[in-house]
Amino acid sequence: MAEKLMGKNFTPQDVRAKVTGTGKYTEDFRVDGMCYVKMLNCPMPSANVTIVDTSEALAMDGVLGILTSDDVPPNPAPGFPILSNEPRQLGQPILAIAAETESIAAEALEKVKLTYEAQPFSLDPLQSLYPGGPDALTEGNFVKSRSESPVSHKWSARDFAVAGEENMPMGEPGMEWNVGDVDAAFTDAAYVIDESFVVASSTHQALEPRSTLSYWENGKCFIYGSSQSQSWMMPGLASMMQVPLSDIVYIAEFCGGGFGAKASPYPTMGIPAYMSKKINRPCMLRITRAEEYHIGGSRPGFQGQLKVGFDKAGKVTAIDCYIVQSNGPNNGSGDYSAAAGALALVYTPTNMRFRGMPVFTNKPYIISQRGPGQNQIACIMEPFMDRAAKQLGIDRIMIREINAPDHDVVFSNRKSTVTSSYLRDALIMGSEKFNWKEKIKLSGKRNGTKVIGIGVGQAYHSAGSNGFDGLVTIRPDGKLYIHSGVGNLGTYSYASASRIAAETLGCSWENTVIERGDSRRGLPWVLAQFGSNTTFTTTRTNFAAANAAKDKLKEIAAMDLGGTAEDYEVDNETVFLKSDPAKVMTFAQAATRAIELGGVYDGHEYPDDLHDVTKAAMAHVQGVGLVGVSKDKMPKEGSVPALATGYAMIEVDTETGKYEILEYTSTVDCGTVMHPQSLDQQIRGGGVMGMGMASTDRMVYDPQNGLCATVGLYQTKAPSILDVPSTMDVGAVDKPDPQSPAGVKGVGEPVMGCAAAAILSAIADATGTNFNRTPVDPDMIVNAMAGRPQSYKPLQVNI
Amino acid sequence: MQKKFSSDRFDPLSTVRDALSRRHFIKGVIAAGTVAGAAGLVTGCSDSSDSSGGAAGSVERLITVNVNGKARPVDVMPNETLAHTLRNKLGLTGTKIGCDRGSCGACTVMIDGVTNNSCSVLTHTLRGANVITVEGVGGANGELHPIQQAMIEELAPQCGFCTPGQVVSGVSLLQRNPNPTREEVRYALAGNLCRCGAYNNYVDAIVKAAGSA
């Protein structure tokens, strides 16, 4: 029996290239004749631009060409065009110039003569919703659905007056749903909290900027990008470049971080691609760090009101939540709706009302960030749970256990179900690991100016999908090739999730090769590498492909060695007769026979239910050996919940407002553990990002001019090594999800949200203050401890 | 210069680093005649400044820099950064540019044994200096440095973009302090941001390597 691979540590094939610096990220590629492109970006939040004269720029030595909005396909509001003369956010690209060097391109941009007609702009959704308030887009500030045009949506002055300054005005929402009778439940509740809150917009800040290299060769458009995903990029790029799918070659071997912002094709990818088509030279567009803050995407901020009712046993009986989401000038993401789903699942309220109102602003381009919506709401709701526990005299872990979902949970207006839920087990495991019972005794303990705070947080994300394609080949060299279409975000899930195919086919890991990173390697259609879905989604596709290959191995063996396919078994890189293992074919022999047989055996024929991207990929694998290709048609019912819990002990200096995270522990429900090292790394890394979310990650704007004050890593600070604990204790419940052939679920998103929530819970515990705001910075803590009013108004944003 | 464990970039007492500080660098850039638009620096929009060298028409000069033990003659512009020279003229793309502003540490290299952000050092100031990049920390025959080996074993990198900088900072630390404590390793890596948050794993790897380096 071949070695069992799932659940064991291994070294993914791309680690060595990372530590030696030989891994090629987009800017590391060089192509003969390559020139450089630089963009002219809008210097104000909204403008109508007239390009007056480009002749001086184009006459410069070394300047090769210009690209304007006339050269690229339009993308009507609220789409985000590649280039636009009506930029609706700071830093939106207007035009681009190609030159022999970046210096020349930059100098040429300064010689372009253009006029800016400044337009009214909006940075605060509540201001935009006020009667007569500015709309971010010419057409309005809201779209009901993606297929509709924007409209101007206003609330009444009365809506604002009734709310007063402390509470959220709650005019007509863009989306609303109800389960049960919330009003009656609040009447009967033993304890009710009803307060407004703010979660700041924050930006992804992947360390690698989203640079793109592009050229055209033999009618095909080659694009080298920094993306989380691989095959998912193909249809979007084909549509962006207005060519058939088969004319796109996409190369993305490494991605220097994405966190959601590089999941799908992004508009600037079109700039070097269209420029290259126009001037017939390979074009490199390097994105600067500062540009990344404008076009690199950010997580939408929330302003909202959260009302929660508890019975005296601590059960959440009612939630009424209203979220106004601050989008950029584009469609944004469904964070507000996802936040409602998280409230409904994690706290299992028997009655719930949700209202949501996404509003366009002239702030940057919004893209989902790690735990979109779920992580924002965890930051607000978790401290609410602590308050209820304290009020009702229940342990803070216990109140979470009381409300945790079971496997048979039915939640939200959609009556959603889950594939499995071990949140309660994660709470029990985590609180034991953290030694909660002893640590909680330290809560409020003072040491000079310092005071201890103990915190706990939980978060959820729906982490898995189905119905995509898997592809493996067994070649005459005797090796198994797993074609991974998923991308290389840095989590190693592309590799761990491939191992199920090797295990299913009884192939050693040494004889397994993962084909990835270049669409010419024959990469099947799978979902983007976002939403923590890769682990669940692609163990299924790889399992399906491996089983397709297994069936063909058995059929070939039966053809050559006699008997029927059912008489054969596959293991140890061979297919053999169960009753007489001496009747055997090696993988190499079977692959050679598959090529001779052709048809379904070597990929010349394949199932018609494959996606077009997979069908295009088949051209690259036909005839290379035995081809196993299949769509994942295994049944799947319900959301695949990734659930995470975090525990923090912090020491707050009441005079400076600074705090140190003394200890952090995190435990998760991610189904069966697939790859222990990469799981630990995800839990810790997500924890670090969550610590930033709680304390320093936020975008700040100048309300007068609409300029962004956070355009450097030191201005919206990602945690450094000194901001986080030296060690973090992590663990997993390790119980299988019944709907995955390997029992696995993803987990990358909620491990961030639970950490942010745990830190905020600890800050509230240490300071006795309900900030209802994320992030909490030292200034806020100092004011709270000194009994001074805060420097901001309750619903104020962009600070 | 081989003193204490604290990160070279953050050690206020290091005279060597002061000579290559960001302030010094900016002065050098201004002296070399580059115009960085003030509005661009604030908003990051018309960000015309770049690290690729002088304005159009600037003159390149041939200098020799010792990189990874080899004398490398190279034509450089007056305001060309070391990161640019390494990546675009010497083919050493292991040194990454994450911010080009001296705040992320992805471009960390050693100059005469001291770690520096190569995005904030002008190449022409390095005549005769010894530069070590991530490509030069291992053995002559491609053997990995013990830190690199330990980073593989500990699965330290996630996306990998900050990794070359973490490796170089770690190697520099072990050169001056072969047996650092966990806390000393943390201070040595304090100038290397990792957005994936793989800090614990990087420290684990360097502490592990310290035993065998």
Which CATH number covers residue B193?
Answer: 1.10.150.120
Residue B203 and residue B160 in one domain = yes
The percent of residues above 70 in pLDDT, for chain A, comes to 100
Q: How many domains does chain B have?
A: 2
CA distance to partner chain B, nearest, from residue A285 (Å):
12
Chain A CB contacts of B190 below 8 Å: 720-722
Q: Looking at B103, B136, B169, which one is the last position of a domain?
A: B136
Q: Is residue B191 part of a domain?
A: yes
**Closest chain B residue to A206, measured at CA:** B195
- pLDDT value of position B29: 58
Which of B196, B201, B203, B204 should be substituted to probe chain A, the one whose Cβ sees the most A Cβ atoms within 10 Å? B196
**Residue A726 main-chain phi, psi, to 5 deg:** -70, -30
Cα(A345)–Cα(B92) distance, rounded to whole angstroms?
Answer: 50
A131-143: average pLDDT: 96
Residue A699 and residue A675 in one domain = yes
CA torsion sign, A490 to A491 to A495 to A501?
A: negative
Residue A376 and residue A250 in one domain = no
| Residue A166: both structure tokens together | 């402390």
The side-by-side arrangement of strands in the sheet containing A351-359 is: A175-179, A351-359, A316-326, A301-310, A191-199, A773-774
Residue A439 and residue A315 in one domain = yes
Contact (CB, 8 A) for A164 and A158: no
Q: Is residue B88 part of a domain?
A: yes
Q: B-contacting residues of A 173-212, CB under 8 Å?
A: 205-209
What is the Rg, in whole angstroms, of the alpha carbon atoms belonging to chain A? Answer: 27
Q: What is the largest CA-CA distance in chain A?
A: 87
A404-414: average pLDDT: 97
Which residue, chain included where needed, has tokens 């609040």?
A186
Residue A773's pLDDT band, with cuts at 50, 70 and 90, is very high
Q: Is residue A595 part of a domain?
A: no
Residue A411 maps to which CATH number? 3.30.365.10
A684-711: average pLDDT: 96
A207-231: average pLDDT: 98
Among A274-278, A283-287, A530-534, B28-32, the range scoring the smallest mean pLDDT is: B28-32
* A705 interfacial to chain B (CB closer than 8 Å): no
Residue B54's pLDDT band, with cuts at 50, 70 and 90, is low
Residue A99's pLDDT band, with cuts at 50, 70 and 90, is very high
Residue B156 and residue B132 in one domain = no
Residue A214 and residue A355 in one domain = no
| Residue B199: both structure tokens together | 């800090």
Torsion angle of C-alpha atoms A262, A705, A771, A532, degrees rounded to 10: -10
Q: Which of A470, A628, A631, A469 is nearest to A549 (CA)?
A: A628
Contact (CB, 8 A) for A552 and A628: yes
Beta-bridge mates of residue A657: none
Residue B94 and residue B151 in one domain = no
Query: How many other CB atoms sit within 10 Å of the CB of residue B41?
Result: 15
Nearest to B55 among A23, A103, A678 (CB): A103
Q: Which amino acid is at A690?
A: G
* B117 interfacial to chain A (CB closer than 8 Å): no
CB contact under 8 A, B96 and A256: yes
Q: Is residue B107 part of a domain?
A: yes
Write the pLDDT tens digit of every residue in B116-143. 999 999 999 999 999 999 999 999 888 9
Q: How many domains does chain A have?
A: 2
Residue B9's pLDDT band, with cuts at 50, 70 and 90, is very low
Q: Based on the number of CB atoms within 10 Å of its own CB, is A612 exposed (0-12), middle (13-18) or buried (19 or more)?
A: middle
| Residue A391: both structure tokens together | 């009020």
Cα(A720)–Cα(A156) distance, rounded to whole angstroms?
Answer: 45
Residue B154 and residue B124 in one domain = no
Residue A276 and residue A307 in one domain = no
Q: What is the DSSP code string of B42-75?
A: HHSSS----SS-SSTTPPPEEEEEEETTEEEEEE
Q: Which amino acid is at A518?
A: D
- pLDDT value of position B59: 80
Cα(B84)–Cα(A236) distance, rounded to whole angstroms?
Answer: 33
- pLDDT value of position B51: 59
Residue B122 and residue B76 in one domain = yes
Q: Based on the number of CB atoms within 10 Å of its own CB, is A437 exposed (0-12), middle (13-18) or buried (19 or more)?
A: exposed
Q: Is residue A41 part of a domain?
A: yes
Residue B89 and residue B29 in one domain = yes
Q: Is residue A419 part of a domain?
A: yes
Residue B159 and residue B101 in one domain = no
Q: Which amino acid is at A461?
A: H
Residue B34 and residue B71 in one domain = yes
Q: Is residue A633 part of a domain?
A: no
Nearest to A713 among B99, B158, B203 (CB): B99
Q: Looking at A285, A308, A337, which one is the last position of a domain?
A: A285
CA distance to partner chain A, nearest, from residue B22 (Å):
14
Contact (CB, 8 A) for A581 and A492: no
- pTM for the model: 0.95
Residue B45's pLDDT band, with cuts at 50, 70 and 90, is low
β-pairing, A729-732 vs A35-41, is unpaired
CB contact under 8 A, A91 and B197: no
Which of A102, A103, A663 should be substituted to probe chain B, the one whose Cβ sees the most B Cβ atoms within 10 Å? A103
Q: Is residue B119 part of a domain?
A: yes
Q: Which of A285, A293, A276 is nearest to A225 (CA)?
A: A285
Residue B123 and residue B189 in one domain = no
Chain A CB contacts of B10 below 8 Å: none
Q: With 80 as the cut, is the pLDDT of residue A167 above it?
A: yes
Residue A232 and residue A358 in one domain = no
Q: With 70 as the cut, is the pLDDT of residue B58 above it?
A: no
For residue A75, what are the contacts with CB-CB under 8 A and spacing of at least 6?
A81, A82, A267
CB contact under 8 A, A288 and B157: no
Q: Based on the number of CB atoms within 10 Å of its own CB, is B76 exposed (0-12), middle (13-18) or buried (19 or more)?
A: buried
* Domain carrying residue A263: 25-120+209-285
Contact (CB, 8 A) for A220 and A247: yes
Q: Which of A298, A220, A261, A287 is nearest to A26 (CA)?
A: A287
Q: Is residue B55 part of a domain?
A: no
Residue A304 and residue A442 in one domain = yes
Residue A443 to residues A154, A454, A656, Cα–Cα distance (Å): 46, 6, 19
Q: Which of A13, A175, A56, A178 is nearest to A509 (CA)?
A: A13
- pLDDT value of position A77: 85
For residue A55, what are the contacts with CB-CB under 8 A and spacing of at least 6?
none
Residue B34 and residue B107 in one domain = yes
Cα(B88)–Cα(A427) distance, rounded to whole angstroms?
Answer: 51
**Residue B17 main-chain phi, psi, to 5 deg:** -65, -35
The percent of residues above 90 in pLDDT, for chain A, comes to 98
Residue B31 and residue B94 in one domain = yes
Contact (CB, 8 A) for B75 and B49: no
Q: Looking at B136, B159, B181, which one is the last position of a domain?
A: B136
- pLDDT value of position B24: 64
* Domain carrying residue B179: 146-210
Q: Which of A545, A535, A543 is nearest to A486 (CA)?
A: A535
Beta-bridge mates of residue A584: A576
Contact (CB, 8 A) for A483 and A522: yes
CA distance to partner chain B, nearest, from residue A502 (Å):
21
Contact (CB, 8 A) for A744 and A674: yes
Chain B CB contacts of A208 below 8 Å: 96, 98, 159, 161
What is the Rg, in whole angstroms, of the alpha carbon atoms belonging to chain B? Answer: 17
Residue B124 and residue B20 in one domain = yes
Contact (CB, 8 A) for A514 and A494: yes
Residue A690 and residue A737 in one domain = yes
Q: Is residue A648 part of a domain?
A: yes
Residue A266 and residue A339 in one domain = no
A536-553: average pLDDT: 98
Residue A652 and residue A706 in one domain = yes
* B143 interfacial to chain A (CB closer than 8 Å): no
| 3 state DSSP class of A83 | coil
Q: With 60 as the cut, is the pLDDT of residue B53 above it?
A: no
Between chain A and chain B, the number of residue pairs with CB atoms below 8 A apart is: 231
Q: B-contacting residues of A 35-74, CB under 8 Å?
A: 36, 38, 40-43, 60-62
| Residue A280: both structure tokens together | 């017939």
Residue A310 and residue A401 in one domain = yes
**Closest chain A residue to B48, measured at CA:** A106
Contact (CB, 8 A) for B204 and A684: no
Among A324-333, A564-573, A625-634, the range scoring the smallest mean pLDDT is: A324-333
Residue A221 and residue A72 in one domain = yes
Q: Is residue B53 part of a domain?
A: no
* A727 interfacial to chain B (CB closer than 8 Å): yes
Q: Is residue B1 part of a domain?
A: no
Q: What angle do CA B38, B42, B46 make, to 5 degrees?
A: 70
Q: With 80 as the cut, is the pLDDT of residue B2 above it?
A: no
| Residue A744: both structure tokens together | 């696995």
Q: Is residue B84 part of a domain?
A: yes
